[in-house]
Amino acid sequence: MARTRKTDETTENIVQLRPESAMQEQVPVDGQPEQSLETAPDDQPEPDEALEQQARRRGAGPSLNRVELIGRIAKGPDVRVTRTGMHVAYFRVVTNGREEKDTEFHQCTAFGKTAEFTGEYLSTGRLVWIEGRLQTRGYDDPDGVKRWVTTVLVNRLQALDQRRKDEE
């Protein structure tokens, strides 16, 4: 095991992750020119512009959109084929928590071979593991009200139980 030595000069190697929250004095990183964080009063952006700029800065950093579910198929897959021949499966998975009120229903969408597998081998009640990502989109309902729906776009799917005799 490597041994390390404690020194009192550890602050010069610290780089703050959120410079906008610590606008005080910062130690420049070696090899980078020192820049002034202050701007002239005339250069201050409008409040809306400031929020937009702040959102852009946050979006540039690392992020992760990943979902893993283990649950049962609550609504059997509806498999469709697009004009280009791509299979798309829409189905719903239910997960439960410690109490009955913690039950969640997740709308899932699978594409390609995963969709074909889902349509052929999975039905209501099957236990599955799903890995994917969340996607939220908006639409207008027939009454003209803006609605939002969040869907799990399935990357990988695996059945965790055996098919029942009546399904074979």
pLDDT digits (tens, 9 = 90+) for 30-73: 444 454 444 444 555 566 676 666 666 665 678 899 999 999 99
Residue 7: the pLDDT is 54
Buried b (16+ CB within 10 A) or exposed e, 38-49: eeeeeeeeeeee
Q: Tokens 């791509």 correspond to what residue?
A: 86
75 bridge partner residues? 92
Cα 97 → chain centroid: 21
Q: Which helix (H) or strand (E) holds 94?
A: strand 87-95
Task: Name the residue ranges covered by the structural domains of the chain.
Answer: 67-167
**CA–CA distance, 38 with 135 (Å, rounded to integer):** 38
CB proximity list for 5: less than 8 A, separation 6 or greater = none
Mean pLDDT in residue range 4-20: 56
In this predicted structure, what is the pLDDT of residue 106? 95
Q: How many CB atoms lie within 10 A of CB 89?
A: 24
Q: What are the structure tokens assigned to 50, written together?
A: 């400031």
**Average pLDDT over the chain, rounded to an integer:** 78
* pLDDT, tens digit, 9 for 90 and up, residues 121-141: 999 999 999 999 999 999 999
**Predicted local distance difference test score (pLDDT) of residue 162:** 84
Tally the residues of the chain. 168
Q: In this predicted structure, what is the pLDDT of residue 108? A: 96
Greatest mean pLDDT range, 10-24, 30-44, 144-158:
144-158
Write down the CATH number for the domain with range 67-167.
2.40.50.140
Q: Are 80 and 49 in contact (CB under 8 A)?
A: no
pLDDT at 147 over 50: yes
Per-residue model confidence (pLDDT) at position 40: 46
